[in-house]
Amino acid sequence: MSEELNETMEAMDLTTKPEEKPAEDEDFVDPWNVTSASDKGIDYEKLTRKFGSSKIDDVLIERFEKVTGHKAHHLLKRGVFFSHRDMHTILNCHEQKKPFYLYTGRGPSSGSMHMGHLIPFLFTKWLQEVFDVPLVIQLTDDEKFLWKDIKFEEALKLADENAKDIISLGFDKEKTFIFSDLNFIGQCPAFYQNMVRIQKCVTYNQVRGIFGFGDSDVIGKFSFPSIQAAPSFSSSFPFIFGGAKKIPCLIPCAIDQDPYFRMTRDVAPRLGFLKPALIHSTFFPALQGAKTKMSASDPNSSISLTDSAKMIKNKINKNAFSGGQTTVEEHRRLGGNCEVDIAYQYLTFFMEDDERLETIRKDYTSGAMLTGELKKELIDLITPLIMGIQESRKTVTDQVLQEFMQIRPLKMSSKE
């Protein structure tokens, strides 16, 4: 590793080992753990400064609308996607009719995804439609095998089940390639070759510093970041891009995945590759409150895509953290706190109607709307959404799954 690269990584705080435990008054974010010191959740302005990314502002949103000819997605307008790296470069490509592609992923740790997992995929699907570009979706079943107490065969099965959930959202098969690391890497020498190139550019100490790995961690964890980095480079997919090394990549992901791509962006120029651009989302809070993100491994913290209508109703009514007062009289007098109320927070993710959302906010804040009424708004909104996904999921057969995961060319544009 060159001295110049070491200096660069030190300047980016990539060589600083994360705290083992956050101070009581501080947020803590890494790719595996998210905790907040506040009932309002993570302080994203502070996190943006810490990670060195750029805030998505009105100027960027206005340019996005102008360049694409589409109104900004409600998740973009409301700041759910709040931070970026080089998004203007991607808009330049679209404006100049130059090719680029999307890359996102999923770490399959349960047999079904939950509502929080929908956010990056629904937004990525919209980006794919707006930009009319190919998409690669990585299933990091290898990561889950290394980090979780699950058997190899189970990791493969969970990847297939999660892939079916993703397909059920309606991605375009002609422009979408889904791959499982455990199955794909051995079939694609170019992907593995890029992994090794990345591995040679990052030292043991730097990986420890970026991700906080310790002496007792298995060696597979130290090499895994190169696997998550490799899809950022177009030459990893010669069957899609014909071996082209400099087709830009845009990665929609939650902000906790950014350390992987800070490393990737640092390595890219040394390999003659382009730095991937990123657009970061906030975390989808657990039902119990915004201090932690929703977890697929804790069924009480999340609403699963397999939950029945009755289960959805019960989970929201019983578990959703309320910003309301303890009695009806107090609530009518003092009003509720939308900043901590989970039912309202979930509405900001899934309710597209800006006017209705603002009416709900005003009514709940003033006390005109009670907590039970607010929860009913959420139940009535998301129940048909999830029921619709379940119906779509029934059509995703093993054959359909294989078609999405087959190594093949993708359409670069609907005009082709």
DSSP 3-state assignment of 370?
coil
| Banded pLDDT at 300 (limits 50, 70, 90) | confident
Check whether 289 has a pLDDT greater than 90: no
Q: How many domains does the structure of the chain reveal?
A: 1
Would 255 be classed as within a structural domain?
yes
> Residue 144 sits in which domain range?
3-287
What is the strand order of the sheet 54-55 is part of? Answer: 54-55, 81-85, 277-281, 249-254, 101-106, 135-139, 176-180
- Residue 414: per-residue pLDDT: 54
Check whether 15 has a pLDDT greater than 80: no
Q: Residue 356 and residue 191: Cα distance in Å, rounded? A: 47
Check whether 291 has a pLDDT greater than 90: no
* Range in 28-42, 92-106, 114-128, 217-231 with the lowest mean pLDDT: 28-42
pLDDT digits (tens, 9 = 90+) for 126-156: 999 999 999 999 999 999 999 999 999 999 9
Check whether 302 has a pLDDT greater than 90: no
| Banded pLDDT at 2 (limits 50, 70, 90) | very low
Write the CATH number for 273: 3.40.50.620
Structure tokens, 236: 């990893």
- Residue 44: per-residue pLDDT: 85
| Banded pLDDT at 5 (limits 50, 70, 90) | very low
Would 133 be classed as within a structural domain?
yes
Q: What percent of the chain is modeled with pLDDT above 70?
A: 90
Check whether 416 has a pLDDT greater than 80: no
| Banded pLDDT at 293 (limits 50, 70, 90) | low
Burial class (CB in 10 A: 0-12, 13-18, 19+), 187: exposed
- Residue 6: per-residue pLDDT: 42
Q: ∠ at Cα 70 (69, 75), nearest 5°?
A: 150
- Residue 297: per-residue pLDDT: 57
Check whether 322 has a pLDDT greater than 50: yes
Would 123 be classed as within a structural domain?
yes
The DSSP code sequence of 280-307 is EE-PPEETTEEEEE--TT-GGG--BTT-
Would 335 be classed as within a structural domain?
no
* Range in 32-41, 159-168, 206-215 with the lowest mean pLDDT: 32-41
Q: Residue 77 and residue 61: Cα distance in Å, rounded? A: 7
- Residue 4: per-residue pLDDT: 40
DSSP 3-state assignment of 179?
strand
Would 324 be classed as within a structural domain?
no
Asked if 3 and 254 count as a contact pair (C-beta separation under 8 A), the reply is no
Would 189 be classed as within a structural domain?
yes
Would 375 be classed as within a structural domain?
no
Would 342 be classed as within a structural domain?
no
304 φ/ψ angles, rounded to the nearest 5 degrees: -85, 155
